[in-house]
Amino acid sequence: MNAITIDGPAASGKSTVGYLVGQRLDFLFFDTGVMYRAVAWAILDRGIDSADIGAVGRVAGQLPIGVKAPGADAGDGRQATIHVGGVDVTWSIRSPRVDSIVSVVAANRLVREALSRKQRLIGLEHGSGAAEEAGVVMVGRDIGTVVLPEAPLKIYLEAPLEERARRRFRELVERGNEADFARILDDMRLRDQIDSERAVAPLRPARDAYQIRTDGVSAVEVVEQILPLAVKHLGVAPSSPRKQGPSGDSSPGAGRDCGIIAGSF
Ligand code: DC
């Protein structure tokens, strides 16, 4: 199976690193966090209380979430375009309001059952060589432990809380949002706690995961640590790093055509 799982806490570098690893291996990159965020966005939109386990679970079971390679909308830094129904929610699922409830939504066992089943199907399809891509890099909190435990390479990224909060702060400012560092730090501490103490599929490294620190190193250096592990465990051959234009290059496959800035988290 050609699947690499990357788990870790918020802003540990999973998406940046996972995206670049996907590019080098011609693998689909799939950030599963967007599905939990889409459910959180939908319940805010519909005025549903995040504590209502049954109602939130029903939304998760029925929500039409689309994840596609960015097309004409690439170039604003997105790694993928996320739709709920016909609405492009790519950026609204990253809002502070969604941030503030998404951990509670992700701790709901009905939500997890619905979403991790779908994620597993995506992982099996794209990791089996049946799809267009050579494999899949799947990113989240429980991919190595629950969603794709049979993946031949599992990575767990970590960085100190303050460093991760600084990254999130920078991200928000760069996107033109208002950001309060102390608040981001507190929210992230709380999200870490909810993600790692929940009863179902808590955040933790798989027993056979490689644990890699991402503070004090660039994303590209982390990628360079992971690629030899992919060669060893999957027997794949990475391509050389590609130059990326502001609106992406023409590489094939979902999530790999956007202009993410290599080397920064
Ligand atoms: O990685 P992120 O910040 O976009 O994730 C949003 C939330 O979803 C976060 O609270 C963790 C949760 N999540 C999860 O529980 N399992 C996953 N596989 C991915 C994300």
Where along the chain do its domains lie? 3-264
Q: What is the pLDDT of residue 256?
A: 36
Lowest mean pLDDT among 41-50, 125-134, 167-176: 125-134
Ligand 1 atom 1, closest CA:
33
**CB-CB contact of 137 with 6 (8 Å):** yes
CA of 240 to the centre of ligand 1 (A): 30
CA of 51 to the centre of ligand 1 (A): 17
pLDDT bracket for residue 92 (50, 70, 90) = very high
Residue to mutate (ligand 1; options 30, 89, 105, 141; most atoms within 8 A of CB): 141
The answer, as to whether pTM is greater than 0.85, is yes
State the sign of the Cα–Cα–Cα–Cα dihedral 74, 75, 80, 82.
Answer: negative
- pLDDT above 70 as % of the chain: 91
Query: What is the 3 state secondary structure string of the chain?
Result: CCEEEEECCCCCCHHHHHHHHHHHHCCEEEECHHHHHHHHHHHHHHCCCCCCHHHHHHHHHHCCEEEECCCCCCCCCCCCEEEECCEECCCHHHCHHHHHHHHHHHCCHHHHHHHHHHHHHHHHHHHCCCCCCCCEEEEECCHHHHHCCCCCEEEEEECCHHHHHHHHHHHHHHCCCCCCHHHHHHHHHHHHHHHHHCCCCCCCCCCCCEEEECCCCCHHHHHHHHHHHHHHHHCCCCCCCCCCCCCCCCCCCCCCCCCCCCCCC
Q: Is 142 in the pocket of ligand 1 (CB under 6 A)?
A: yes
- pLDDT above 90 as % of the chain: 73
Q: Is 30 in the pocket of ligand 1 (CB under 6 A)?
A: no
CATH number of 3-264: 3.40.50.300
**Can you give the length of the chain in residues?**
265
In this predicted structure, the answer to whether residue 255 has a pLDDT above a threshold of 50 is no
Q: What is the spatial distance between Cα 196 and Cα 190, in angstroms, rounded to a whole number?
A: 10
Q: Is 33 in the pocket of ligand 1 (CB under 6 A)?
A: yes
Closest CA to 199 of 104, 263, 135, 99: 104
Task: State the closest ligand 1 atom to the C-alpha of 103, by its place in the atom list counted from 1.
Answer: 10
User: What is the per-residue pLDDT across 174-206, written as a single tens digit (0 to 9) for each?
Assistant: 888 888 999 999 999 999 999 999 999 999 999
Q: Is 102 in the pocket of ligand 1 (CB under 6 A)?
A: yes
Task: State the closest ligand 1 atom to the C-alpha of 201, by its place in the atom list counted from 1.
Answer: 15
Q: What is the spatial distance between Cα 118 and Cα 121, in angstroms, rounded to a whole number?
A: 5
CA atoms within 13 A on the CB side of 233: 19
The stretch 59-79 carries a mean pLDDT of 84
Q: What is the pLDDT of residue 243?
A: 56
User: What is the per-residue pLDDT across 4-57, written as a single tens digit (0 to 9) for each?
Assistant: 999 999 999 999 999 999 999 999 999 999 999 999 999 999 999 999 999 999
